[in-house]
Structure formats: structure tokens, C-alpha cells
Amino acid sequence: MINQILEYTKKYYPYSLDTGILNIVTDGVEGVTGTFLVGQYVNIQNSILNDGTYKITAINGDKITIDGTLLPENQATILLWGLRLPKGLLNVIAKIEEYTTNQPVSTLGVKSEKQGNRSVSYGGAGGGAGSTDNTWLSVFRKDLEPYKNLFDDRLSYCRKYNINTKGW
């Protein structure tokens, strides 16, 4: 959910950037040289399989452990962003997660079915404009407005510190 929210706002609040060849293992990232804190969020960018935002649960030497499961990538050239998400945004994210958890599952239960040589799709069964998949945005749009950006702020961070972004 946090990935969808940060993509919507286009604001990641970058604090630090660790680049280079890192090893992504199932529970975290090895070879980290930057300074991170337990409880901090990190964003993996430019990986093949693991782009996204994760919360750090432990740090041991040059390895950070995160709150999710990753697919291993050996010697991946990635961007590991240390984020500093504002408390207000974290509160909105918690409310959105609670809201989506408490939403009822569609009563139809079927989005489409095949009957012989033809298939039938049911309009309100999910994925459409009226589905519960996107209602969190319509409910929390005003709460997210103060955190919205026109452009991805990670690029501004790179420009500020003269980091090459060619190929993004």
C-alpha cells in the first residue's frame, strides 16, 4: 500500500542515497555503506525484481533487514534511498491501510466467466471505477493533497547533488 501512496504523491522524501553494487537477499540488502536507522523507510529503485518501499527492521554491519520478502539479486546495481517520511503522512498511510483492511469483499465474487465460446464480464465486480480497489484514493485524496508533488522528488535530489540520472 505504501508504494501506491508514494507513487500517487510522487514525493518520497529522500534523505540519503546509497548507490553501487549491492546484494539483495530474501530479507534485506547486503553491502550497504550508508547510514540508516531501524524503523526508517527505504526505497529500492533500479532493481530487476524488487523496486518498492520497505521499512527497516534490523541493521547488522553492512546489511539492512526489511519488513518484506525480496527476490534475490546478486551484485545488483541499484539505488537505495533512505527516506524521511513525515509523521503526518505516516498517519494518513496507517488510516488508509486500516480503511482498506476493513472494506468488504465484493458480493458478486466473480469478475468474469466463460460460457462455451463466449465470455461475460460483470461491471461492478472489481477493477472498475466503482470497485473497492480504488476507493481509498477517493476517500483520502484531500488528506494526501499536502503531500503531493508534480514530479518525483528523487530526481530533484539527484540534480541538487549532481548525480547522473541518465537512463531513468
How confident is the model at residue 46, as a pLDDT?
87
Instruction: For 31-78, write each residue's pLDDT tens digit.
Output: 999 899 999 999 999 899 999 999 999 999 999 999 999 999 998 788
Task: For residues 135 and 111, give the distance between their C-alpha atoms in angstroms, rounded to a whole number.
Answer: 17
How confident is the model at residue 166, as a pLDDT?
58
Domain at 33, CATH number = 2.40.30
Task: For residues 92 and 94, give the distance between their C-alpha atoms in angstroms, rounded to a whole number.
Answer: 5
Q: Would you say residue 29 has pLDDT above 90?
A: yes
Tell me the percentage of the chain whose pLDDT exceeds 70: 79
Tell me the percentage of the chain whose pLDDT exceeds 90: 58
**What's the pLDDT band for 165 if we cut at 50, 70, 90?**
low
Report DSSP letters for 89-152, one per residue: HHHHHHHHHHHHHTSPPPSS--SEEEETTEEEE-TTSSSSTTSTTSHHHHHHHHHHGGG--SS-
| Residue 150 is assigned to a structural domain of this protein | no
| Residue 35 is assigned to a structural domain of this protein | yes
Task: For residues 114 and 22, give the distance between their C-alpha atoms in angstroms, rounded to a whole number.
Answer: 46
Report CA 40 to chain centroid distance, whole Å.
Answer: 14
| Residue 112 is assigned to a structural domain of this protein | yes
Does residue 161 or residue 42 have the better pLDDT?
Answer: 42
**What's the pLDDT band for 19 if we cut at 50, 70, 90?**
confident
Task: For residues 28 and 123, give the distance between their C-alpha atoms in angstroms, rounded to a whole number.
Answer: 41
Residues 7 and 74 in one domain: yes
**What's the pLDDT band for 20 if we cut at 50, 70, 90?**
confident
How confident is the model at residue 63, as a pLDDT?
96
| Residue 156 is assigned to a structural domain of this protein | no
- pTM comes to 0.76
Question: Looking at 36, 57, 85, which one is the last position of a domain?
Answer: 85
Q: What are phi and psi of 25, to 5 degrees?
A: -115, 170
Task: For residues 14 and 20, give the distance between their C-alpha atoms in angstroms, rounded to a whole number.
Answer: 17
Which position has the grid cell 527476490?
71
How confident is the model at residue 129, as a pLDDT?
41
Range of the domain at 22: 2-85
User: Looking at the 3D structure of the chain, how many domains does it have?
Assistant: 2
Q: Would you say residue 130 has pLDDT above 50?
A: no
Q: What angle do CA 99, 103, 109 make, to 5 degrees?
A: 155
Instruction: For 102-129, write each residue's pLDDT tens digit.
Output: 887 654 455 566 666 666 555 544 444 4
